[in-house]
Each structure stands twice: as C-alpha cells, then as structure tokens.
A and B are shown apart, each in its own frame.
Chain A
C-alpha cells in the first residue's frame, strides 16, 4: 500500500465516521422533537418502561452486588500496603456511586436493552412492519423510537440508583462478614462521606447512558439492511456504538462534574 492510498483510506474512514455521527445527531434531534409533540403512545411507553426498567433489575442487581463485593476486597488488599484498610467504606461508596454504578449499569443496559431494541426494530423493518406503520398513518419515530428513548431516559437513572445501593451493600456484606468491619461504623462512614453532588452526578450519568443506549438501538434498528444478516449487523453495531459512546460520555461527564 502506497502512502497516498493509506492516507486516502484514513480520510475516507474519517469522513465516513463523521457522516455517521452527523446522521446519529440528526436522529437524536428528531427523536427529542417527536417526544415533545403529540400524538403520544402511552401503551408503548409503559411497555418500554417495563422492558427497560423492571425487567433489567435482576441483571443490574447481580452486577452491582458482585462488583461492590470485589471492590471491597480490592481496596482492603490495596489499602493494606500503606496501612489504609479503614478507607474501604468510603472508597466503595465513592467508587460505586461516581463511577462503577453508572458505567456498569449503562453497559449492562447496552447489552440487554440496546440489542433487544435494535433486533426488534430491524426485524420490523425487514418484514415491512415499519412500512405498514407508515401506511397506517403512524409515524415510526413517534410510535417506536420516542417511547423507548423516553423510557430509558427515565428508568436508567433509577436503575443506577438501585445499582449504587446494592453495590454498596455488596461491599458492606463482604467487609462486615469477612474483613471484620463494624457494621454500624461501616454504614456511618459511607453515609457521612458521600456528598449530594456524588449522587447527582451518578443519576445524571444514568440518564445520559440510558438515552444513548436506547437511541443507538433505535438508530441501528431503523438503518438495518435486508435479511437475517442485516438484523445481525444492526444489533452488533448498536451494542458496539452504545458501549463506546457510554464510555466516552462517562469521561466527558466526569470531567464536567470535576470542574464544578
């Protein structure tokens, strides 16, 4: 490969990525615009709330409790190197609330909800159900996309809050049962150390990650190619994009909350 052709390939790839980013931005703007304007579809919204929120609780709870427990063990072992084992409650709390809670819940939602939304909408597109919706005077952006994104925007912060609490409890159980921490002191240290801004940053991240996860599922589902391969490709691309964007958004939001 010559330097010129390599440069050309890099240029084409970069332009392609920028064009995709532009399309996603336009899709997101259109989604928010449709969210604000009637007609609204409450049944679709309630079903999406159930799918995104309630049915995601078990996986979120399991992820959080194991992470909180492992975090407590790691901090205890690491802290022991400079006689700082006592900071386990504080670091578990701040680690779960500021960082691991929102990020892990976001990634689990990307795995569970983004993939399911993308596969469902892509299948609807391949089987002409999206065209059928349009011929039945129903805008797919309002009927399929807006309720799912709104449901994720509302429920994922709640899931993050639940995940934060369960993660902290995971650390609490490990610390009190295996590391000989005093239960009352552990809880007091956790509550005293956490600040309101930690909790706010956690919930804001949850809202952002939920929106990204649902948007990516809807976008790639609506852009799906033909056949089973098209559905598979849409699902894979949606999860990849959601995961990367969630991690990038986490970096940006963490920077923003640090600077406040």
Chain B
C-alpha cells in the first residue's frame, strides 16, 4: 500500500473542559480529494488546523508525506499547502492581486512584482474573474467573488495539498455549483491532495473521492463517496438525509 499524504493517528484536542477531538484516525491518499462531514462544532476545522500546525494537538501524531508535523523547516512545510478559509480571510488592506500573489511577493517563493501580478491575474482568470478585479479591494467584491479570490490565492503557488474550509457556505446554489466545479477541476488538473470541510451534501458529491464523517470527536465512518449512501451507519444516514430523527441529537 502506498504511503498516505496525510496520516492522523489518535489525535486529541481539548479546549478547557471541551474535548473536541478524542482520537481521530484518518488517512488521506496522495492526489485524492477527501471531504470531512459532520455537524457544527464537531471539530472539523480544528482537525484541519492541527494538520497545518495552527493548533497543537494534546496527544496523537500527524504525519504529512511521512514526516511528523512540527519537525523541520516550517516555511518549507507550509509552502506545500494552500487553504481556502470559510470567510475568504482576504487581507482588507491589500488589493485583490496582492492577496492572490501574497506568497509570491515575499519569502522563499518570492518573484519579481510584475511576474507575481501576471500569475495572480492568470489565477483570477482560472477561477472565472476578469483582470479588472485585480486592483479592487476585497471589500468591493461580493461574497462569491471573495470566495473565488480566496480560491485563487490558495492555488497561486501551486501547492501539493489544498484545504477548503466550508467553501460554499453563504453562497447561493448557482454560485455553490460554480465553486464546487472549480474545486474539482483545479484539484484534478493540479494533481493536488485535497481536504474539504462541508455540511453541503451537493458539495460532497461534487468534490469528494472519499468521505469521512467526524462525530463525537472521532471518525465515525470513512469510505469512497460512491459507498456513502450504502454506508449502513445510522449517523451517516441521518446526516445525508438531514433528518431530525436519529442518533445525532438535533439540539447540541
């Protein structure tokens, strides 16, 4: 069996008395697209942030490409990742093109300014935005456009691993479809390993090769997206159907 790109072993994290992750085990194969589903507050974002080293797990081990997270050169480690944040997390004070080319304007991946701007405009085109958006400020864009700029920023340095945190939250169904298609196309075209967090089952079916359900601080079920509807797991079935009746409490 080939080595997974991302391995999580018995990862646990508590915030005070609130144990969010209680022993997460998950493998993400290289070049695959894995979607983590689960209710609000079940620790999906915490799991992603633990992989990136933004949050330090209390116990457990996380490996990326066989190497433990937190060891070695941090800059080199992070340069392998791109991330689309839930709210876009664009830098208000910078024009759109500088947001997209942020990594290309400084640090180990720095390029000349003109070249970085060209790459930014090309990435904006890739996510369906015209070049005239480049000099606007993020506050001048709609929510859907901000998500696309965030997506362009996530792929600007052509990372090996891309994380998408609730990419379609707050968008209308048409814009959600556009973003889902873009994510799928980009991941396939770049050959990147992708991890996505979402509640949106349409996104799950559009983006995922594999699905993992996080509940009670552990991975409840994992498998190919084609097997999700026949998982036989009552938690997964309730989540897919969106029913208030079932093992997942509606009031948490």
Which residues of the other chain, B, contact A127 by a CB distance below 8 angstroms?
87, 89
- Write out the residue numbers on chain A whose beta carbons fall within 8 Å of the beta carbon of B93: 47
CB-CB nearest in chain A for B49 = A131
Give the residue of B75, B85, B108, B109 whose beta carbon is less than 8 angstroms from that of A131. B85
Q: Are A41 and B106 in contact (CB under 8 A)?
A: yes
- Specify which of A39, A131, A136 is in contact with B103 (CB 8 Å cutoff): A136
| Residue A4, interface by CB 8 Å | no
Chain A nearest CB, measured from B113 CB (Å): 11
Determine, out of B56-64, B76-84, B117-125, B197-205, the stretch whose residues face the partner at the interface: B76-84
Chain B residues lying within 8 Å of A128, measured Cβ to Cβ, are 85-87, 89
Q: How far is the CB of B169 from chain A (nearest CB, A)?
A: 13
Cβ of B56 to closest chain A Cβ, rounded Å: 13
Closest to A44 in B: B93
Contact of A137 with B by CB under 8 A:
yes
Interface size counted on chain B using CB atoms at 8 A: 25
Residues of B within 8 A of A132 (CB): 83, 85, 89-91
Q: Is B36 an interface residue (CB 8 A)?
A: no
User: Shortest Cβ distance from B111 into chain A, in angstroms?
Assistant: 14
Measured CB to CB, the closest approach of chain A to B142, in angstroms, equals: 17
Q: Which residue of A lies closest to B107 (CB)?
A: A137
Is B97 an interface residue, CB under 8 A from the partner? Answer: no
Asked if A135 and B83 sit within 8 Å, CB to CB, the answer is yes
Assess the B89–A131 pair: CB atoms within 8 A: yes
Specify which chain B residues have a CB less than 8 angstroms from the CB of A39 in the assembled complex: 106-107
Whether a CB of chain A sits under 8 angstroms from the CB of B54 is yes
Question: Of B83, B86, B89, B107, which is in contact with the most chain A CB atoms at under 10 Å from its CB?
Answer: B89
Q: Shortest CB–CB separation between residue A120 and chain B, in angstroms?
A: 9
A14 interfacial by beta-carbon distance below 8 Å = no
Residue among A41, A128, A131, A136 with most chain B CB within 10 A:
A136
Q: Which A residues are in CB contact (< 8 Å) with B85? A: 128, 131-132
CB-CB under 8 A for A138 and B107, given A131-B89, A132-B83: yes
Give the docked Cα–Cα distance between A135 and B49 (Å): 10
Contacts of A6 in B (CB 8 A): none
A129 within 8 Å of B (CB atoms): yes
Closest to B93 in A: A47
A-B contact pairs, 12 of them (CB 8 A): A41-B106, A127-B87, A128-B87, A131-B89, A132-B91, A134-B78, A135-B81, A135-B82, A136-B78, A137-B78, A137-B107, A138-B107
A binding-site residues for B, Cβ under 8 Å: 39, 41, 47, 124, 127-129, 131-138
Q: Point out residues on B near A: beta carbons under 8 Å.
A: 49, 52, 54, 74-75, 78-79, 81-83, 85-87, 89-93, 102-103, 106-109, 153
